[in-house]
Structure formats: structure tokens, C-alpha cells
Amino acid sequence: MPILVMKFGGTSVATLDRIHRASKRVAREVANGYDVIVIVSAMSGRTNELVGWVEETSPLFDAREYDAVVSSGENVTAGLMALRLQEMDVPARSWQGWQVPVKTTGVHSAARIEEIPSENIMAKFGEGMRVAVVAGFQGIADDGRITTLGRGGSDTTAVAFAAAFGAERCDIYTDVDGVYTTDPRISDKARKLDRIAFEEMLELASLGAKVLQTRSVELAMRYKVKLRVLSSFEEYDPNAGTLVCDEEDIMESKVVAGVAYQRDEAKMTLISVADRPGIASAIFTPLAEAGVNVDMIVQNISEEGRTDMTFSCPVDQVARAEKAVTDAKARGDINFHDIVADKDVAKISVVGIGMRSHTGIAAKMFDVLSKEGINIKVITTSEIKISVLIDRKYMELAVQALHDAFELEKA
């Protein structure tokens, strides 16, 4: 029988009632003739609570134990969904990541899936089981330790299963009815897209649009998985949602496809470092080794052989970053006068493949922000996006102003 992957995010399994609703959707696809692999998230809020407990217990925690704790939310929903399906007379059972096994790298809290052997689950489908409910977000490393795939990782579990099992489609059920031109929670003018190109979705996701985890889009693109985002709250409609697809499969496309934001950024500056060959490596190697996700980097013009080095990273990694560079200073690897951390910044990005062939988008973006009186702290660009760092208090304003200026509400 053809296989369908259905993923339900946290809000879609937030209560027993919602698990029941989601199960009805699964049962419908079983009735339509599919063997279904369901990927579940933890109940909404649960993963945050677990992360909070870990941080309270051990601020610079052992990432292996972090994974042991935060992966547990998905185990609960997988079991509950299997039970609910059984109550509906649908043959189902749950799997935790290690039971499949979902084999991953050993990079705890940011592991990558390496292999998903299909025999185990296929054998059960062969025996008449119709639904495999798999705990998303988790896997097992070579050393036998439990790993997690980074926040939002259940999306990636879903796409990886769709690829491994040759599923007909991977449906991502969430609390919005598709991918929008910007986060509909920030702008009521956001417009739902019927289709979006993989590359645009990849940029939007990596720049903060958390509707899909970045890695899931990468995998879908590489393995040609038919990926759809849709609401678990609306009535059943076979054409609902947004299809993430190849650029060639989109008729109309605008220069700018969407606006993304990342709220919890920090800007850190090392004041007065020696400007010499190897200094960037001496600063950023220890940051990388400490697991700091450095994003934007700016080095000032140097004066008398000294310069300031500025970089951005997620705000919850500031302590880690400070420790890494302070330790490097203590070892004599680098020298600086001071570290200044600005924890109140956000990143705003505009994305669109049309930027490859259109000029002036950056100029327009800067003009819009300047008219709103918003100061730009750092800028980065790539072929299909422009990102700026601004004060967090202007984040919503900036998103809305850019959405208006690029007329994204119009089809």
C-alpha cells in the first residue's frame, strides 16, 4: 500500500481532545488506502518546560543529559496517539526513535539523521499494522545515547521518514493553514501562499520562519519529497495548505516572497582586539567548539593595529560565548579590552529568488526602515536575501512596514 507521512506539531497534540482530532485525520487516510507513518511532537509548551528544568538544574548543562530529558515529551504523545487509534480500531503502535532506530550523529541537541532502516516498521505493516506512530525530534547516536535534532526537529523527522520510506507525500499539520508571506501572528496582512519554492522556504526557515525546521526543507529538496504544510484545525480538504516545490512548478512569483524575523538575537562586540592574521580564527574557533551558533560577523576598520570584532548569536548562547572568549583570553590565544553584549536585538530578513535578477531591493529595504526611524546595526546579504539587525522593540514595526512596502498582501 502507498505510504503517507503525517506530522502533527505541538499545538495539534496539545490536549487529549486534539490528539483525538488528529487521530481522526489519520484514520481517514487509512480508510483512503494508505499505510501511515505519523510523526508527533510533544504537547505544546512541554519541550520549553523540559528545557527550563534542565537549565535551572545545570546552567552549562551536559548536552547528553539535556537530550535525555527534552526528548521525553514526544514519547508521551506517541504512546497516546497509538492508544487513541487502537480505541478507534485502527491497528497502530508507537515507536521511540531508538526503537526504529533513527540513527543520528552524536552532536547532542543538534544531531543530524544519518540513517533510518525501514525493515522494522515495514515488517509490521506487512503483518497488518496500519499506522506507525513515531516520536519526532529524537534519535540514537553510535554510542547508544539519545540525541535530539534541534528545536522544531520533528519536521525533519517527518521528511526523513518520507524519504526513507518513499512516501507519496509528507503532510505537516500545524496551527496555521500554510506558509504565509510573513508570520501571520505578526502581520494580519500576511497572505497564504499556495506554493513556495524550496530555496525560498529554505531561506525563510533558516532566517526564523519556524513553520518548518530548516533541515527538513533541505532534506525535502535533496530527496524530492512532496512536502505540504496545512492546518490540523480546519475541515478536510485535499487541496488545502501550501505545497513546497521546485521553482519551475510555480507560475506567478514575486521578487520578494516573504519577510522573516528572529526575535531572540544578541550582538556581541569584542573591543580592541589585535588586528593580525589569524585573529578571526582565534576568536571563532573556540566559539564554534563551545557550540555557539555565530551568524553575522563584522570587523571594524583597524586603528593602530587594533580593531573591534562584532558578531551575532542567539541570546541564550551569550553566557556560553562569553565564557569561550574569556577562556581563550586567559590562555593567551586572544587579547581584548572588553566584551559588550547587546541582548535586545532582532534580525529581520527579506527573501525572494527574484532578487537574483532584480536590483534595488536592499536600497528599498534600508529606505523603509529609515523612514520608520529604525537604526540598522548590522547587515548581511546573499543572492536571495537581505538581513539586518535592529533593536528588538522595533521588530513588529519593521516586519509590517516591509510587508507593506513590498506589497506582499497582493497576489
Least distance to ligand ADP, CB of residue 331, Å:
40
The answer to whether the Cα torsion of 20, 156, 70, 37 is positive or negative is: positive
Of ligand ASP, Mg ion, ligand ADP, none, which one sits near residue 47, judging by CB under 5 to 8 A according to partner kind?
ligand ASP
User: What would the x/- binding string for ligand ADP be over residues 134 to 153, using CB under 6 A?
Assistant: ------------------x-
Helices vs. strands in the chain: H and E counts, helices first: 12, 18
CA dist 84 and 297 (Å) reads 50
Of ligand ASP, ligand ADP, Mg ion, none, which one sits near residue 42, judging by CB under 5 to 8 A according to partner kind?
ligand ASP
Among 34, 165, 180, 406, binds ligand ADP (CB under 6 A): 180
Of Mg ion, ligand ADP, ligand ASP, none, which one sits near residue 151, judging by CB under 5 to 8 A according to partner kind?
ligand ASP
Per CB under 6 A, does 254 bind ligand ADP?
no
What is the Rg, in whole angstroms, of the alpha carbon atoms belonging to the chain?
23
**Alpha-helix runs per DSSP H in 150-277:** 154-164, 198-206, 214-223
Least distance to ligand ASP, CB of residue 26, Å:
18
| β-bridge pairing 92-95 and 169-174 | unpaired
**Alpha-helix runs per DSSP H in 11-59:** 16-31, 46-57
- The site for ligand ASP (CB under 6 A) is made up of 9-10, 41-42, 47, 73, 136-137, 151-155
Least distance to ligand ADP, CB of residue 124, Å:
26
Per CB under 6 A, does 121 bind ligand ADP?
no
Of 9 and 208, nearer to Mg ion (C-beta) is: 9
Per CB under 6 A, does 13 bind ligand ADP?
no
Of ligand ASP, Mg ion, ligand ADP, none, which one sits near residue 90, judging by CB under 5 to 8 A according to partner kind?
none
- Binding residues with ligand ADP: total (CB under 6 A): 20
**Alpha-helix runs per DSSP H in 103-213:** 119-126, 154-164, 198-206
Per CB under 6 A, does 258 bind ligand ADP?
yes
Among 185, 337, 358, 393, binds ligand ADP (CB under 6 A): 185
Of ligand ADP, Mg ion, ligand ASP, none, which one sits near residue 180, judging by CB under 5 to 8 A according to partner kind?
ligand ADP
Residues with Cβ within 8 Å of 278's Cβ and at least 6 positions away in sequence, in order, are none
Per CB under 6 A, does 10 bind ligand ADP?
yes
Q: Which of 334, 343, 276 is nearest to 312 (CA)?
A: 343
Residues with Cβ within 8 Å of 86's Cβ and at least 6 positions away in sequence, in order, are 92
Eight-state DSSP code of residue 341: E
Shortest Cβ contact with ligand ADP: which residue? 9
Contact between 124 and 93 under an 8 Å Cβ cutoff? The reply is yes
Residues with Cβ within 8 Å of 296's Cβ and at least 6 positions away in sequence, in order, are 310, 311, 312, 347, 378, 380, 387, 389
Binding site for ligand ADP (CB under 6 A): 9-12, 41, 152, 174-176, 179-180, 182-185, 204, 209-211, 258
